[in-house]
């Protein structure tokens, strides 16, 4: 990841309006900051959330609260709890998210 055109910037996440994204089940609420070539998000998944697509975008994802299952299109599954992260490159391993109880995430892509 090469970050460019991004001066020092602090974010008060409470001032960013959340947008709702529907999954196959449940909802994701995104608070998003974008500048230059980077997108930073605070994401909250409702209990029972299952993403409605396989994502091929690269991410650095940190679980802040709750538990998240990252399912790869090849069938592998990884369960992450608070304090755990995953990293994946663009077009490397298509993946989607599921959470039984809900989760809060910090994502950079």
Domain residue limits, the chain: 18-96
With cut-offs at 50, 70 and 90, classify the pLDDT of residue 2. confident
Maximum Cα interatomic distance, the chain, rounded to a whole number of Å: 40
Alpha carbons within 13 angstroms on the beta-carbon side of residue 51 total: 18
Residues near 15 by beta carbon (within 8 Å), at least 6 away in sequence: none
Question: Rounded to the nearest 5°, which phi and psi values hold at 8?
Answer: -55, 125
H/E element holding 93?
A: none
Res 73 pLDDT > 80: yes
Structural tokens at position 83: 């304090």
pLDDT at 40: 97
Question: pLDDT tens across 82-92, in order?
Answer: 999 999 999 99
pLDDT at 3: 84
The structure tokens 């998240």 sit at 68
pLDDT at 16: 97
With cut-offs at 50, 70 and 90, classify the pLDDT of residue 1. confident
- Burial level of 93, CB count in 10 A (0-12/13-18/19+)? middle
Question: pLDDT tens across 3-58, in order?
Answer: 888 899 999 999 999 999 999 999 999 999 999 899 999 999 999 999 999 999 99
């Amino acid at each position: 990841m090469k970050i460019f055109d991004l001066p020092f910037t602090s974010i008060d996440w409470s001032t960013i309006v959340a947008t709702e994204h529907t999954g196959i089940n449940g909802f994701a609420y995104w608070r998003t900051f974008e500048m230059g070539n980077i997108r930073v998000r605070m994401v909250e998944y409702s209990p029972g959330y299952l993403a409605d697509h396989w994502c091929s975008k690269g991410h650095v994802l940190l679980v802040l609260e709750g538990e998240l299952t990252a399912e790869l299109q090849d069938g592998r599954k990884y369960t992450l709890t608070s304090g755990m992260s995953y990293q994946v490159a663009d077009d490397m391993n298509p993946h989607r998210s599921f959470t039984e109880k809900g989760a809060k995430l910090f994502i950079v892509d």
